[in-house]
Structure 1
Amino acid sequence: MKQKQKEILKAVHRETGEPHGEMTELYPGIGITFFSVSGQDSFRFCHEPLAHVMEINYCISGKIGWNMYGGNQIYLGSGDFSLNTMDTCVNSIVTLPNGSCEGIVICIDLEQLTDAPPMPLAGSSVTGELLLEKYCKGGTCTVLAGNEIVQQIFQALYQSPEETRTAWQKVKVLELLLVLSGMEVSREKHLTEYRSEQVEIIRQVHDQLIENLEQRCSIESLSKQYLMNPTTLKNMFKEIYGTSIAAHIREHRMEAAAQLLQSTDLSVADVARKVGYDSQSRFSDTFKRHFGVLPKEYRKNLRK
């Protein structure tokens, strides 16, 4: 199991070029690793189709998504986690809507968990068959927003003191398995799973807005242009990119304005127009809320 997990991580490293921490074996058949990817929109994820190994993915920060069986796409934001066997995401394209993500991967050999569980779980109801039936039946992937108990468990996996971290991880992984085995999993608790065609539309909306920051587009006009219900458009955009359309575009407008103030001699009024503001005073107020200083002060400080 440990050797197989290392081979999987090597495959991911070959495809992404990103560093991954070594898999730490907590118990026979149970390992944990941390990942951090940035500076790209997507990468290919390749590994063997291990139907007996369950993967628990937890997103610490950022946003991550990937194609699942049947053409659906699933996204994790900060605090979300997913459970699936490693035959459901073979050779998939992983996307980073915001350009980066940090997270945790826990791999569990379900057969070994049933046949030779860690001593504290021996004789309990926690088995590989139970977890497989509850979360991964029929090759499905379960995606959930973490509740307070689950969040505390995951946070302890990476926030505990370094000198006792492995000990905490051993304790907390067993606690996680106990919680998962007893958790009521209703459809209402599942995060939304979208068709890849819908996700592609949201990406087109995003790209159009980012490439035309000087223009103002309403939700209604976008929904008519892309033939998508306004509520669906807003909800999907927030789930994929982590913020509302307005907040996301405002972030890009402010970053573009800062770049113009730094690299050009355009007046503040001209900069405001180039990033979609007809009112210089409104632009200046928004800029100050974002950067803590007015545009003129920002430029002056840079040139000092």
Structure 2
Amino acid sequence: TTLAERFCEHSEYGMMMEETESVRQIFSSLYKVPDQIKGHYFKLKVIEIFLLLSVISTSNNEKRATYRKQQVDIVKAVNEYVSTQFMKRITIETLSEQFDVPTSTLKRCFKGVYGTTIHQYLKECRINAAKRLLHETDQSILEIANAVGYENGSKFTSAFKEATGVTPSAYRKV
């Protein structure tokens, strides 16, 4: 059986799999290769990827999620939008309308592609931006909360502490 037959039952679908340590190792090392050996190194990595794919189970009792290219493209656009507009009030319903995709499909595909919910991703974007602002500016905690999309300072503090283990003021002191 060819790899395409094993992993892609229909031409418009592809297979996605969760990241594992072996997959992470294969791909992370691609970014640290000296220019003089890149060509040969990449050939070895392609062989390593084929070897990994040859031992992955594709039996019927192990269902893998499949998404059409159009769905993945929409989810990537949603990701880009959320990562740049996180300071705005964003709901699944508004994203669904804006990107013309049913809410259930949007939630399922986003989670399948990125391994997290849209809500959790939005929260991570806000917390990461808040961390930068806490270290790089003298803005008050409330100003930072508002700048990253929280209308309420106490909700921001709770979310920040849940994500980082410390309050914003304690994080700023570190």
TM-score by length of 2: 0.72
Residues of 1 paired with 2:156 and 2:83: CA distance?
17
Quick one: which amino acid aligns to residue 251 of structure 1? E
Residues of 2 paired with 1:267 and 1:220: CA distance?
32
Aligned length: 150
SS at match of 2:51: strand
Partner of 2:42: none
Partner of 2:24: 101
Residues of 2 paired with 1:202 and 1:247: CA distance?
15
Residue by residue, what CA displacement relative to the aligned partner does 1:247-293 show, whole Å, maximum 9, x if unpaired? 11211211110001111111111110111100001101111111121
The question of 1:76 aligning with 2:17 is answered: yes
| Equivalent pair of 1:216/1:276 in contact (CA under 8 Å) | yes
- Of the three residues 88, 95, 112, the one matched with 1:215 is 88
Q: Which moved more, 1:68-77 or 1:206-215?
A: 68-77
Q: Aligned-pair distance for 1:72?
A: 3.2
Residues of 2 paired with 1:106 and 1:196: CA distance?
22
Residues of 2 paired with 1:217 and 1:203: CA distance?
16
Partner of 1:163: none
The question of 1:292 aligning with 2:165 is answered: yes
Partner of 1:268: 141
Q: Which has the higher strand share?
A: 1
- Gap regions ≥5 residues in structure 2: 27-47
RMSD, aligned CA: 3.4
Residues of 2 paired with 1:255 and 1:220: CA distance?
24
Residues of 2 paired with 1:265 and 1:73: CA distance?
48
Quick one: which amino acid aligns to residue 145 of structure 2? A
SS at match of 1:215: coil
Partner of 2:43: none
Higher relative contact order, chain-length normalized (CA < 8 Å, sep 6+)? 2
Quick one: which amino acid aligns to residue 154 of structure 2? S
Percent identity of equivalent pairs: 30
The structure-2 alpha-carbon separation of the partners of 1:263 and 1:107, relative to structure 1 and needing over 3 Å to count, comes to same
| Equivalent pair of 1:73/1:199 in contact (CA under 8 Å) | no
SS at match of 2:17: strand
Structure with higher Rg: it is 1
Q: Which has the higher helix share?
A: 2
Residues of 2 paired with 1:265 and 1:208: CA distance?
27
TM-score by length of 1: 0.43
- Gap regions ≥5 residues in structure 1: 1-50, 56-66, 82-99, 109-140, 143-175
Quick one: which amino acid aligns to residue 76 of structure 1? M
The question of 1:282 aligning with 2:140 is answered: no
The structure-2 alpha-carbon separation of the partners of 1:291 and 1:196, relative to structure 1 and needing over 3 Å to count, comes to same
Q: Aligned-pair distance for 1:297?
A: 1.2
Quick one: which amino acid aligns to residue 197 of structure 1? Q
- Of the three residues 178, 185, 195, the one matched with 2:68 is 195
Residues of 2 paired with 1:277 and 1:213: CA distance?
10
- Of the three residues 208, 228, 237, the one matched with 2:110 is 237
Q: Aligned-pair distance for 1:106?
A: 5.7
Residues of 1 paired with 2:9 and 2:137: CA distance?
45
Equivalent runs, 1:35-46 vs 2, <5 Å: none
Residues of 2 paired with 1:73 and 1:218: CA distance?
29
Q: Aligned-pair distance for 1:107?
A: 2.2
